[in-house]
Amino acid sequence: MYANGQGVEQDQTQAVNWYRKAAEQGLAAAQFNLGVMYDDGLGVAQDDVQALNWFRKSAEQGMAEAQFNLGLMYTDGRGVSKDDVEAFNWFRKAAEQGYAAAQANLGLRYINSQGASQDHVQAFNWFHKAAEQGFAEAQYNLGLMYVNGRGVAQDYKQAVDWYQKAAEQGLIEAQANLGVMYDDGLGVSQDDGEAVKWYRKAAEQGDADAQFNLGVMYANGLGVEKDETQAVNWYRKAAEQGVADAQFNLGIMYANGQGVERDQDQAINWYRKAAERNKNDTHIN
């Protein structure tokens, strides 16, 4: 009540006091909430060690949220030495209780070999469990696995379905990828208008690749009326985030005076940035 100001004036310090009384009597929910207060510095000085302590007490009683948070503490090395195996173990305990965030996290750990051997089939299974609960990040990752045929047979239609679910929840990466699927006609009828729609949603949230792709659509009048000024606008946003193709295309726009006043110096500047970016990319292992 004190934590949320329900029926009483909000007072985080009082909330901590009452959580502590209940936590010391072994109430798992209170132990978890007290851990959160220490974790976030609400009503008490922020203290990772204390947060870890109370999350552990709650987790050991089987509270999924505490098990998940304890996994995060081990992941980040907060209040305890970083330990991917311990993190994995606590995420699994929470995941097996149906906690969607833990299921999604477990999927990522199987993909990235964090705390367990790489296993795409296991990753797919855990992403699927979380995705069916509506967890957007898992829906997106499930879409990726269907696109790439990892842990499951390649299926573009399934990929589109899962990208769509995540995109409709506002997940930027899913919106950008859904745009690509419509752009290329993968798993769905090719539709420039739909591609523009989803590119725009992601681009407006700052996704650099979507910004570049939206620029291409404006430059070529695909799914939208041709508008070179808009093309320059979106190329610039992506170029400033380091997308080499956008930097190169922006250089072309300056060189030809398309959508912007002709400026050879600016053209050379953006060509150089694109070349440097491509050179650096070839050295990434």
Q: Examine residue 12 and state whether it is found in any structural domain, yes or no.
A: yes
Q: Compute the C-alpha angle 6/9/10, nearest 5°.
A: 75
pLDDT for the residue 10: 60
Q: Examine residue 280 and state whether it is found in any structural domain, yes or no.
A: no
Q: Examine residue 205 and state whether it is found in any structural domain, yes or no.
A: no
Q: CA-CA distance, 230 to 60, in Å (whole number)? A: 56
**What residues of the chain score a pLDDT lower than 70?**
1-10, 280-285
pLDDT for the residue 61: 97
- Residue 22's CATH number: 1.25.40.10
Q: Examine residue 223 and state whether it is found in any structural domain, yes or no.
A: no
pLDDT for the residue 278: 82
Overall number of domains in the chain: 1
pLDDT for the residue 206: 98
pLDDT for the residue 282: 41
CA-nearest of 64, 7, 56, 5 to 34 is: 56
pLDDT for the residue 284: 35
CA-nearest of 74, 63, 4, 2 to 31 is: 63
Q: CA-CA distance, 109 to 95, in Å (whole number)? A: 12
Q: Examine residue 133 and state whether it is found in any structural domain, yes or no.
A: no
Q: Examine residue 77 and state whether it is found in any structural domain, yes or no.
A: yes
Q: Examine residue 86 and state whether it is found in any structural domain, yes or no.
A: yes
pLDDT for the residue 134: 98
Domain that holds residue 87: 1-97
Q: Examine residue 42 and state whether it is found in any structural domain, yes or no.
A: yes
Q: CA-CA distance, 131 to 150, in Å (whole number)? A: 16
- For 202, residues 6+ apart whose C-beta sits below 8 A from its C-beta are 172, 173, 175, 176, 179, 210
